[in-house]
Structure 1
């Protein structure tokens, strides 16, 4: 029976050793497996050790901002009449029985005259008149001139009852979404946002997008307030969208926490990014195997590799924190949107797991053997 138990125990140890060697749980590939995927070995990723050249070449952060067409657009004249505006007219005639006035009255009011889509209004006895593009005072002179041929010395006043022809739509993370007229106090982007009650999220993560025709531009809310050049003039038909920035990086492997982390509007380096997720797991992490996985645009990849490449390239940047300048290089290496930070396990970790699996299995084998006896 003892011989049988020993054989059983030995067989289970061999089987479990094989299982432990190829099927132990782990957080992801090890360094050797990542290097095996390098272009030089027939893979499709460039494995690059980070040095000063790499940090200088890759350290750009795509910036938000408005194009010159947005910045150079002039403010809408607060008094300029546009298609869709509603006007109010008052006309005085210097006769007892005028064209438009009733007997015994000297004036008449024509309220809620809407400027049509072509920019015209109709005034009795004056005909169809182009209103859009004129100020109320200019339109007053045109109507007065038209009526002067039919009634002596008419007096006309023109006012904008509602400025529906010059509006913008404000949507997203604001206190009061809606369609707002462009008025004297709200002719710039910051003023229009204030008119909508301001943003409803933290300013540090708020991005403001302005869509104008087939173009669009976006800016951080904090940059909007800090730089006057970003406070562009709003134009009729603009769509203003406030949303939370979606840029982020992902952290995986032998670190304090595996998660997706928002970038916000700050420039974050590799050291800060690792710290944000709890740092390297002391009992697991290999400080020589910190990888930043990224799809690099053609122009940057060509400069990093020192040769022309075509199309977006998969890059696996290696940070060896044990080198004399390793932490400095990690501090200088900026993290970008959609990056993946992956920390490999130290080689001895897998060995310890194997030993633990074997020794644990021996105890199980003893139990089985005892049961067999």
Structure 2
């Protein structure tokens, strides 16, 4: 009852009120407006209703205002709340030790795949294997066993007769069938070794046979080059020992009409092992331009690297790297940086799935068998020294930068909303006066 009396006195101080309350706390005689003061009394009521309504909204409505993302406090709370954090991640402050750990991380290099082949034991590219097609030419003196017309030479003649056998296919077991020579196992032989083997088989059937063997279709000594090249193809290898950039060039090279070679990834598959490197890295590091081996598969992938920016920045955006390397400082500046009126420069976050090796070195637990894990790196831009660290922190593909909202942002949003709602009433009151 006292509450209603207080509210009545607050809203209608100049009105004559007669309050009669029953046991049900009923206000019976309401304000009797005087003819002369009616307009002023209603104006005062409107102002006080607006004041009380604004107070109630201030107490209960701030949390319902829209936001672009969480504050620093909310991110820290979510990291320790198992109900809100479905992924077990940690928040790591950007510091010099972290920069050194990240800089020491080395991706799988092509040179590691070539470790078992030294210069003293280079792979051969002239052996025969299943699937190859061979051309065998036999030169005979005197009686021509392979002459199509059964021609024979006179005794003592030095004239030789050349006969080309039909193309011989090496079957899946590595065998070929030579007329008058029978079946020969040729897998692993060189062309010279096979020529000697055929000559030995024909020695007692043909007069002074001489044999030449040439690989017409070389399946065994070849690599497959495909993906973002102009001419995807099977590239035969030669004893010259082609390197990875050689076979890419023989396949027409990368399609530069799409993008620069910073956005191309070379994926090499060898003996069920896979390694990836940027094409630019192979071009700049001769040690990664390794010698090709028969059976290698080289895929050129056009993969434009990008990062995303959310939160209290000039714009929410997804940007491509467009350069070989990109630092965190450069990435933040591309999005316009933190907004003074909204952002909390103490809380600049970078979300990333980091390798398990780095997470272990940072003391972050990793699930058994996992190769990567989630982590959040925090940068405090109120500390001037961290601007130097941001210049050394290298961005990676699919990184997410989040600029947290300031805690006071809700109040300013609410104040702006109230101003928008109250301004028409204040304007109307001044017009009445």
TM range, smaller chain: 0.7 to 0.9
Higher mean alpha-carbon deviation, 308-317 vs 327-336, is at 308-317
Structure 1 residue 102 displacement after superposition: 2.3
Segments of structure 1 that go 5 or more residues without pairing to the other structure are none
Q: How does 1:221-370 map to 2 (within 5 A)?
A: 221-245=279-303, 248-262=306-320, 266-297=324-355, 299-304=357-362, 309-311=365-367, 314-363=374-423
- Say which one has the larger Rg: 2
- SS of the residue aligned with 1:53? helix
* Cross-structure match for 1:126: 181
Higher mean alpha-carbon deviation, 235-244 vs 175-184, is at 175-184
Q: Give 2:202's match in structure 1, choosing from 126, 136, 147.
A: 147
Matching of residue 54 in structure 1 with residue 98 in structure 2: yes
CA distance in 1, matches of 2:374, 2:140: 80
Q: How does 1:32-51 map to 2 (within 5 A)?
A: 32-39=73-80, 45-51=89-95
Question: Do 1:169 and 1:239's aligned partners in 2 also have CA atoms closer than 8 Å?
Answer: yes
Structure 2 CA distance for partners of 1:50 and 1:41, relative to 1, 3 Å = farther
Question: Do 1:188 and 1:232's aligned partners in 2 also have CA atoms closer than 8 Å?
Answer: yes
Matching of residue 86 in structure 1 with residue 127 in structure 2: no
Question: Do 1:296 and 1:313's aligned partners in 2 also have CA atoms closer than 8 Å?
Answer: yes
CA distance in 2, matches of 1:76, 1:301: 39
Structure 2 CA distance for partners of 1:368 and 1:30, relative to 1, 3 Å = farther
CA distance in 1, matches of 2:141, 2:389: 87
Question: Do 1:9 and 1:366's aligned partners in 2 also have CA atoms closer than 8 Å?
Answer: no
* Cross-structure match for 2:215: 160
Matching of residue 193 in structure 1 with residue 248 in structure 2: yes
Structure 1 residue 251 displacement after superposition: 1.7
Q: TM-score, normalised by structure 2?
A: 0.74
Aligned residues: 368
CA distance in 2, matches of 1:330, 1:273: 10
CA distance in 2, matches of 1:41, 1:84: 59
For residues 170-192 of structure 1, the C-alpha deviation after alignment (integer angstroms, 9 at most, x for no partner) is 11111111222224567321111
For residues 238-292 of structure 1, the C-alpha deviation after alignment (integer angstroms, 9 at most, x for no partner) is 2211113465433211123323344578453321221232322344322222122
CA distance in 2, matches of 1:233, 1:298: 31
Question: Do 2:223 and 2:235's aligned partners in 1 also have CA atoms closer than 8 Å?
Answer: yes
Structure 2 CA distance for partners of 1:299 and 1:243, relative to 1, 3 Å = closer
Higher mean alpha-carbon deviation, 154-163 vs 121-130, is at 154-163
* Cross-structure match for 2:150: 103
For residues 200-230 of structure 1, the C-alpha deviation after alignment (integer angstroms, 9 at most, x for no partner) is 1421121111112311122221222222221
Segments of structure 2 that go 5 or more residues without pairing to the other structure are 1-41, 153-160
Task: State the structure with bigger RCO (CA 8 A, min sep 6), 1 or 2.
Answer: 1
CA distance in 1, matches of 2:311, 2:102: 23
Higher mean alpha-carbon deviation, 328-337 vs 225-234, is at 328-337
CA distance in 2, matches of 1:59, 1:99: 69
- SS of the residue aligned with 1:317? strand
Matching of residue 181 in structure 1 with residue 236 in structure 2: yes
CA distance in 1, matches of 2:265, 2:244: 13
Structure 1 residue 314 displacement after superposition: 4.8
- SS of the residue aligned with 2:382? coil
- SS of the residue aligned with 2:262? helix
Aligned CA RMSD, in angstroms, stands at 3.3
